Structures are given as structure tokens and as C-alpha cells.
Chains A and B, each alone.
Chain A
Amino acid sequence: MKSCNCPSCGAKIDFQSSLSVYAVCKYCQSMVVRRDLDVESIGKMAAIPDDMSPLQIGTRGKFLGIGFGIIGRMKLSWSDGFWNEWFVIFDDGRKGWLAEAQGAYAVSFEIDKKEFAGLRKLKNIVLDKVIGSNLVLEKKILKIVDIKEAICAGSQGELPFAAPVGRKTTSIDLVGEDGDFASIEVAEGESARVYMGKYVTWEELHCENFRILEGW
């Protein structure tokens, strides 16, 4: 674990994972980026809008038998609602994401897809392949179910990239016949990222240390 002081308020910031480059200061909500020797503040984050999510930083769960822990969160907002992307580190060292939208959960990992790297290329995909059409990823036939223009509504904890409030993303969701899940994310001014994984149920996640929800 690496520790440093928040360049904005001086509070201690711990980087739990070597995979994390960005962290949000718990006290002043500044987003800091880790350089080789020190950290740099890259702006203040607004407090995350509250929700009824049962997950929180520190929640542990399981996916396909391997334990993971949540170390960061990015909340996204689009025209028809919000969803959470929880940044997770697996016990075997992999990093992944646990997406939580409308009470559905999906665990995914970033995959290397050079053909989607450029935004220009993605625009072609969006133009020719609209909702309802199929795309083949990792030899799996996946159907485009959603294309959303989202903006970051806040982040928390550690993240592998900078996610300031207002960061714009085009998010394409895909599903397969066996609960396969994929998403293509293109943040404004960045290369596309492709994530693949599976939808999981709350029971399958075997969560521990989740949030207290009053009345439930």
C-alpha cells in the first residue's frame, strides 16, 4: 500500500491497490492522480448523489469462485437514470468492474480490442449497428441492447482512470444468450474500452460487509 498526502487539504490518502492511479480524497473530495513520486490534484468531485445501493467501498463478494473487494466507485447519470460502476480488485490480482443498474449486477473485465480503440471506428459501429443488432466479441454473439450518452455524476475511492464529474461517455451495452455481458465505453477524448463478463444475481455474489439499508 502506498500513502501520500492530499495536495489540496493535506489529509492522508492511501492507495490500496497498485492498479489504482486515481483516488478521491475522502475529506475534500479532490480527485488525485498518482505520479511516480507524488500525487497531483486534478479537481474537486461533487458528493455522490445518494442511492439505495447495497454495495459500498469495502464490500467483498465472489465471482466464479474468486473473491473480490470493492475499492472504488463511479456513478453515471444518463437521460433515464443512474447506474453505478464499482471498481473491484480480485484476490488473484485482476481488476474488474461490478456494474449495478436497476437492481441488476454484471461483473466484467477489460479486454484488448484494438479495432474499437478509435472513437471514429466506434462511431461507425454506432451508425451501422444499432440497437437490436449483433456483434461478435471473443467468439460470442452479443446483441446491442442499449446505447446511452452518460456523464459521470461523482466518484469515490480508487479508480484506474480519472473520472471527474461531467466526464462524458458513450456506453453501449450488449447481452448474449447465456447471460454474457459486454460493454463498450468511449469517454470523450479517450480511446474506447471494451469490457466483457456476465450478469450475476445478488445471491451469486455472496456479498459481505454490504451497506445497511434501513428497514430491509
Chain B
Amino acid sequence: MSKKKSPFAPESDKINSEVPLENIAENIKFVPANPKVFNCPCCGSAISIKAVGHSITAVCTSCESIIDLQNENYQIVKKAKYAIKETLIEIGARGELFGVKWEVIGYVLKSDGSFYQWEEYLLYNPYHGFRFLIQSQGHWNFAQVLQRSVAKLGRAKISFNGRKYLKFLQGSAIVKYVKGEFYWRVRKGDAADVSDYISPPYMLSTESVKREMSVSQSVYIEPSEVQESFKIAEMPLKSGVACNQPRPFKNAFAIYLTAIIAFFVITVIQCSMKDARDYAQVVAKDFLFRGDGKNKDFRIAKFNLPKDSNVEIKTFTNVDNDWAEIGFSVVNEESGKTYDISQAIEYYHGYSGGENWSEGNQYERTIISPLPKGNYDLLISFDSGVFEKGRNLEANISINRDVMQWGNYWISFLLIMAFPIFVFFMRSGFESMRWQESEHAENKESSWEYVDDVFSGILLITDLFSS
């Protein structure tokens, strides 16, 4: 056994002997853990410490003096010079977030040195430790200090836990106001260098004071979630886009994919319909309407529909710088039911201002939606400007049945595409708003690298294949 063992490897060669802990525990006097109460060295009011053993700074709830708890005599760090501030969530409030009950034990108001401010609530649970609930411009984040190092901090793009994070900004954080208790030394005016890296809905934030840096990971949470769990009457209104706010339509990839599939499906249906239908010409006839007006009356053509089908009427005329109006009455011989259609044809052209121009054409096409099968009479009447000029009107009329219709196809196509296009523009607009606030606007171009879309898409595809 000369091989060196990993320190984590179980020493299986040893006897598996469970330690009889009960015997030790039995004789030790255990007291339930309680908050600790002491008197403020400044004003004498009772101060209750909830995170006993963790908190080293406390702010008196009556006089707002900052007290150093690590010092045996509870030394006053700073006497209060400012009025007590009410906060949205008060110290002592409890609420459940991510399945764990938290108590608000501290509050810090921070500023970047300009008018921009944000609030950090320190949350405590004696089993789970500490978290932060951060409110800025009506947007909320739930944050935890990371107990691990993050590689390549400082670069424009970093990888962490399988996600790409893009650098968003770098600045400073200055403590403007504190109340409650803290596990670190805090006082008004404390400043730290901060930087944020985003991968919505996540964010990595660094905070450094001199050489010591802490990294925390935040996740964006909806204000309604905070409001519900901490029973807040009125929440500050959201303004703008938060740097790690998830884009609207989180399932965009699924929406795009659905549209592509739907497009594919309607195309397949359209093409199969053409195959199934049995397109045929039922009438093809040339008509001559004489300018002398002698045969201007109804012309009759007959056709048969062997099954219910749509009918297409195509008319070509010889109108030239003139107009024609053709009326069709399609009469079912059995039922006598009549379907009236009229086609207006105009064709004008000329040369003016050094240019050839033309308007309209000599052709018209009309589709009558499905007619019942049977024998039909087609009555045609004509009127045209050419008759006034004493000229003949020539027309070629053809009637086809079982015609493939593209209209519905294109309408479906537009309906299918409208929503994904809307989603696409909403999302890119959102992304632009987000990066307006950043000093690294060039990173916007890399925003497709946030894995949320691709990831949810891959999940969707794997779901489809596995089901």
C-alpha cells in the first residue's frame, strides 16, 4: 500500500464503527439558541442581535449609533448624526424565497457616487446562512456570496458554471445609510470597487476593498415574488431594463422553432393538396363582340363539375387604352342557384414627360369558392368603351376547376410569422435598452451568447425527441 491516497478517499480498511454520539450529547448542557439582547452604550435602549456569533456590527434602532460587537465593551463606532429612515422591508421582517425562510437583519443603502442608489437587505437563516435582497430602480435581485474562485475576472467575457458572462460595468459602491446588524464592519462612507458581469437572469458581482475581493452571484427575481413573500403593500415601480433582467419571451427559441415547423407543415399541406386535386379546364372559348352592337347579348357556355370544387374564371381581352366590364352568372342547372361575378378590365398606356407609362392590364382572374357538383350554365354579358368607338372586343375566357389556391397559404404564412417577428423585435429592442446603461456597449453584440435561448431550445428539442 505505497500508493498515496486521496485525502477524500474513504479508509475502507478501517472498521466501520459508528461513533456513539448519544453518550457525548447526553451529558452536555444544550441551551436552545436565542437572539441576544444588550443595551445600547449610547442611548441605553435594548438592542436584539439575531445572528448571534456572526454579527459584529449593529445599529441601534433608537439612536442609530453604530456599535462594534466584536469589542468586549460594545464600543460605539459612530454616533448617529442622521434621522432614522423607514425602509420598504423593515428589520425583523420574514419571508420565504427559493423555499427558505429568511429574516431581514440588515439594510444598507448604497450609491455609485452619483444620484444612482440601490438598497441591499441582509437576509439571515441560521441554517442556510446569509443572502442579499437587492432593490434598484424597482428591480430585485437575490444574491449570495460565492465560496469559490472565478477564473479570468476582469475580462470582457468570462465563463462560470457553464454560462458566459459579459462584463457590464465597473464602478464604485459607497455606503450612504445602514441599519440592523451585519457580519462585517460597516459604516457610512465605506467605499468599494465593484464590477458586474451579466448572463440574464444571473449576474456575477465583484466587490473589492484593497486586495480583498468577494464575488457574489445574483439572480433576477420578479418584484411580485418579493412583494408576496414579505407582504409589502406597495412596491417601487420598475424603471428601465435591469442589467440582468431576462428578456421578454424567454421561450423565444421555442416560438421561432414552432413557426418554422408550422411553416413546414402548411407548405407540405399546400403541396399535397395540389397533388390530391384534379385540376382541369372545363371551358376555353374565344368570344368576339362586334363594335356594331349586333351580338352584345348574353353568351352561353356550359360546363360540368364532376365533384364539389372551386372554379377559376380567367379572361383575356384586347382592350387597349380602354375598359371592359364582363358579368358572369353561373347557374346550377338542377337547383337553379345563381352565382354572380363581375370582372373589370382596364388597360391604359402612353408616353408623356419622356417616359412610357401603363396602367392596369388586359387580364383578370377570379376564383369562386367551392360549388356543388353538377351541370352549370355560364351566362356572360359585356360592356366596353370599345363599342362606343365602333370597334370589336375580343375575349378569351377559360374556366378551370380544382384550382390550387395560394391565398390562404400566404395568409397563414403571415399569421405564422407575425408573432415570431414581433418577439424578435421586442427582444432586440430590450437588449438595446439594457446595454444603453453599460460601459461595455460592444458586448451587446455578444448577447446571443447568453445561453438562455439556446439552452431552452436544446431542452425543447431533447423533450420532443424523448417524448
Contact = CB atoms under 8 A, between A and B. Distances in A.
Given A69-B18, A69-B21, A143-B149, A131 B211 contact: yes
B126 interface: yes
Nearest to B29: A26
Contacts of A93: 11, 14-17
Contacts of A109: 7-8
A216 B126 contact: yes
Contacts of A53: 33, 53, 126
* Secondary structure call for the A interface: loop
Interface string A182-216: 00000000000000110101100000011111111
A66 interface: yes
Nearest to B131: A103
Interface string A100-117: 001110100111000000
Nearest to A131: B211
Contacts of A201: 128
B293 interface: no
B70 A81 contact: yes
B148 A180 contact: yes
Interface in A57-106: 57-60, 64, 66-67, 69-71, 77, 79-82, 84, 89-94, 102-104, 106
Nearest to A51: B53
Given A52-B52, A103-B130, A211-B30, A58 B10 contact: no
A178 interface: yes
Given A17-B19, A103-B128, A181 B147 contact: yes
Contacts of B16: 91-93
A216 B125 contact: yes
A16 B14 CA distance: 16
A177 B151 CA distance: 7
Given A91-B16, A92-B16, A177-B150, A54 B8 contact: no
A49 B130 CA distance: 21
A72 to B, nearest CB: 9
A77 B56 CA distance: 11
B130 A92 contact: no
B148 A16 contact: no
B127 A216 contact: yes
Interface in B80-123: 101
A80 B7 contact: no
Contact of A179 (B17, B148, B211): B148
B31 interface: yes
Contacts, number: 174
B185 interface: yes
Contacts of A142: 149
B23 interface: yes
Given A80-B185, A143-B149, A56 B30 contact: yes
Contact of B184 (A54, A80, A212): A80
B85 to A, nearest CB: 26
B356 interface: no
B276 interface: no
A109 B14 CA distance: 16
Nearest to B14: A93
Interface in B131-175: 145, 147-151
A90 B211 CA distance: 37
Contacts of A212: 30, 32-33
A102 B128 CA distance: 10
Contacts of B151: 177
Contact of A14 (B10, B14, B18, B24): B24
A6 B150 CA distance: 50
Interface string A1-34: 1000000000000101100000000100000000
A110 B8 CA distance: 10
A64 to B, nearest CB: 7
Contacts of A145: 149, 212
Contact of A89 (B7, B19, B23, B53): B19
B71 to A, nearest CB: 10
A81 B183 contact: yes
A195 B185 CA distance: 28
Contact of A132 (B8, B35, B213): B213
A106 B129 CA distance: 13
Contacts of A216: 101, 125-127
A50 B24 contact: no
B211 A130 contact: yes
Contacts of B211: 130-132
Contacts of A103: 54, 124-126, 128-130
A82 B235 CA distance: 37
Interface in B49-65: 50-54, 56
A102 B183 contact: yes
Contacts of B51: 52
B233 interface: no
A202 B99 CA distance: 13
A169 interface: no
Contacts of A199: 147-148
Interface in A124-154: 130-132, 138, 142-143, 145-146
Nearest to B6: A138
A26 B129 contact: no
B227 to A, nearest CB: 23
Contact of A51 (B14, B54, B149): B54
A212 B32 CA distance: 5
Given A26-B28, A52-B33, 20 more contacts: A16-B21, A50-B33, A50-B52, A52-B52, A52-B54, A54-B127, A57-B21, A58-B25, A70-B21, A71-B19, A71-B24, A77-B70, A89-B19, A90-B10, A157-B24, A180-B148, A197-B8, A213-B32, A214-B33, A216-B125
10 contacts: A16-B23, A50-B36, A51-B53, A80-B70, A80-B184, A80-B185, A92-B12, A92-B14, A213-B126, A216-B101
Top-5 shortest CB links A-B: A103-B129, A51-B53, A58-B25, A93-B14, A199-B147
